[in-house]
Structure 1
Amino acid sequence: MKAMLLNTYGSDAVFEPTEHPKPTVKPGHVLVKIAATSVNTVDTMIRQMGEELPLSPALPAILGMDFAGTVEAIGEGVTDFNVGDEVYGCAGGLADLPGTLAEYLLADAKLIAHKPKTLTMREAAAIPLVGITAYEGLTRANTGENQTVLVHGGSGGVGHIALQLANYFGADVYSTGGGEKQLALIEQLGATPINYKTETVADYVAKHTNGTGFNVVFDSVGGANIINSFEAAALNAHIATTVSMVELDLTLAHFKGLSLHVVFMLIPMLHNYQREQHGKILTKLAEIADAGKLKPILDEQEFGLEEIGQAHERLASGKAMGKVVVSV
């Protein structure tokens, strides 16, 4: 099969097209003919940082985590899928799991689900990592009806899914953005836009919550921004963040009685821990998408498999709106 291989890591590492052995099916797994894959920030981090990240695969490596495609073969013990089924998931590209920048993928059946019927392969491939992350964060934060939810970075990959899911859960949704296009997208997706460049946290807390704060804050920006999340939160509120590798003073969180949920959705893949939860979440996300309540935004630029280097550059440039997707 054709695959895009990395033989070195680093900022100038080049993906090289190569003929690679096609995987053979094994128990508990399915062999998938990949139609599309999407690029996530963690993919670019692995390419650049290599061994500095404990989750990077050994070289030579096939990167890529998300995919959508068609089942070609079924391993022993797999009962939920059949040959010819259209599936999607986040199932490779780190540690000892070969990635999706190839024509075929051997995927653990626990990590995948049937593709949403109403979405294209490219749309479905955009969902898994960001969708699981958003769903896990919002559900761990007990998001529900009549709550006020603030999503930081609502036009980003995780954020634009999170605000749609918060709407689905019945919340009153607000989201920060920093430009006209971002704010327009946030409004289009059903949230009240907040320009963090022109409004202080105190300003928008007073404006939208009468000064009491938000019940849930989903922070897809993270880092130093978590302090803004603490400030924006109501008493006894929940904060979910996807980026928490930072030193912070938790005094404000203490005096507000906040709960902090750190979402790192790669844990089941890295540690083979409760992988079936990913399959269950993806099944639920497909149900929500087929109900017309979830649709990923795809960046306007399209890429083929041999253009994966350009796709990485597109994501890293910060100019992409929505997910960067690669057709295989």
Structure 2
Amino acid sequence: MKAMIINQFGDSNVFTLADIAKPDIKAGHVLVQVAATSVNAVDTMIRQMGPDLPLSPAAPAVLGMDFAGTVEAVGEGVSHFAVGDEVYGCAGGLTHLPGSLAEYILADAKLIALKPKNLSMHEAAALPLVAITAYEGLDRAQIKPGQNVLVHGGSGGVGHIALQLARYFGANVFSTGGGDKQMALIEALGASSINYKTETVADYVQKHTQGAGFDVIFDSVGGTNLLNSFEAAALNGQIATTVSLLELDLSGAHFKGLSLHVVFMLIPMLHDHKREAHGNILAKLADIIEAGHLRPVLDEQTFSLEEVGKAHDRFASGQGLGKVVIDV
């Protein structure tokens, strides 16, 4: 099969078109003909860092985690998928799991679900990693109807999904952005926008919660922005973050009695731990999408499999708005 492989780690020009062996079907798995995949931050980190990142595969490697495609073969023990099913998932591109930058991917059946019927393959491929991350974070933060919820980075990949899911769960949703395009998207997706460049945390906490703070904060920016989340949170509030690779003073969280949830959605793939949770979440998301409550935002530029390097550059540029998708 045709695949884009990397023989060494580094810049976006390391991708090479190659003809490699098509995966053999095995028990508990399905063979999927890939129609599209998308770029996530972790894909670019693996490409750049290689062995310096513990979850990277050894070269030569096929990267790419997200995909949408059609089931071509079903392994022993798999009863809930059939040949011809249109599916989506996040099932490879790290450690020992070959990725989706290829014509076919061998996917653990626990990690995938039937594709939402009202989305194209191109659209569905944008969702798995970011949507699972958003769902898990809000679920662990025990989101409830009527709560005031703040999403940091609501125009980003994870953030724009978290924002929509928070609305679906019945919350009053607010979100930070840093420019006119970002603010417009946040508003279009149904949240009240906050310009973090012109409004202080104290100002927007007073404006939107009368000084009480937000019940739930989904921080897709993370890092030192967690200190802003601590400041913006209500007493005994819940904070979910996707970026916590730093040393941080937790005093602010302590004096408010905050609960901090670190979301690292790759754990099921890395450790073969509760993989069925991802398939279950994707199935729930498909229902939410088919009911009209969630949609992916896609970058205006599209790329072919051979243009994966350009797709990585587009993602890294920060010039796009929405997920960068690669059609296979």
- Smaller-chain TM-score bracket: over 0.9
**Which of 152-161 and 13-22 deviates more?**
13-22
Residue in structure 2 matched with residue 42 of structure 1 by the alignment: 42
Moved >6 Å (runs of 4+):
none
Aligned mates of 1:96, 1:170 — CA distance in 2: 40
Write the mapping of 1:248-287 to structure 2, written as runs, cut at 5 A.
248-287=248-287
Residue in structure 1 matched with residue 26 of structure 2 by the alignment: 26
The answer on whether the counterparts of 1:216 and 1:238 sit within 8 Å (CA) in structure 2 is yes
Structure 1 stretches lacking a partner, 5+ long:
none
Aligned mates of 1:245, 1:58 — CA distance in 2: 23
How far off its partner does 1:11 sit?
A: 2.8
| 2:270 alignment partner, SS class | helix
How far off its partner does 1:12 sit?
A: 5.3
Aligned mates of 2:270, 2:114 — CA distance in 1: 22
Query: Under a length normalisation based on structure 1, what TM-score does the superposition of the two structures give?
Result: 0.99
Residue in structure 1 matched with residue 94 of structure 2 by the alignment: 94
Q: Does 1:178 align with 2:173?
A: no
Residue in structure 2 matched with residue 117 of structure 1 by the alignment: 117
| 1:299 alignment partner, SS class | strand
Q: Does 1:75 align with 2:86?
A: no
Residue in structure 2 matched with residue 9 of structure 1 by the alignment: 9
Q: Does 1:221 align with 2:221?
A: yes
Aligned mates of 2:202, 2:310 — CA distance in 1: 40
Aligned mates of 1:11, 1:86 — CA distance in 2: 33
**CA offsets, 1:216-265, max 9 Å, x none?**
00000000000000000000000000000011111110010000000000
Write the mapping of 1:51-66 to structure 2, written as runs, cut at 5 A.
51-66=51-66
Aligned mates of 2:33, 2:235 — CA distance in 1: 49
Partner amino acid, structure 2, of 1:116: P
How far off its partner does 1:13 sit?
A: 4.8
Q: Does 1:144 align with 2:139?
A: no
How far off its partner does 1:86 sit?
A: 0.2
Aligned mates of 2:169, 2:100 — CA distance in 1: 31
How far off its partner does 1:165 sit?
A: 0.2
Using the aligned pairs only, state the percent identity: 73
Aligned mates of 2:253, 2:14 — CA distance in 1: 44
Structure 2 stretches lacking a partner, 5+ long:
none
Query: Under a length normalisation based on structure 2, what TM-score does the superposition of the two structures give?
Result: 0.99
Aligned mates of 2:124, 2:99 — CA distance in 1: 17
**CA offsets, 1:164-191, max 9 Å, x none?**
0000000000000000000000000000
The alignment yields a C-alpha RMSD, in angstroms, of: 0.5
Partner amino acid, structure 1, of 2:288: I
Aligned mates of 1:105, 1:113 — CA distance in 2: 14
Aligned mates of 1:143, 1:273 — CA distance in 2: 24
Aligned mates of 1:294, 1:15 — CA distance in 2: 33
Distance 1:119 1:202, change over 3 A: same
Aligned mates of 1:320, 1:40 — CA distance in 2: 13
Residue in structure 2 matched with residue 207 of structure 1 by the alignment: 207
How far off its partner does 1:274 sit?
A: 0.2
The answer on whether the counterparts of 1:237 and 1:257 sit within 8 Å (CA) in structure 2 is yes
| 2:314 alignment partner, SS class | helix
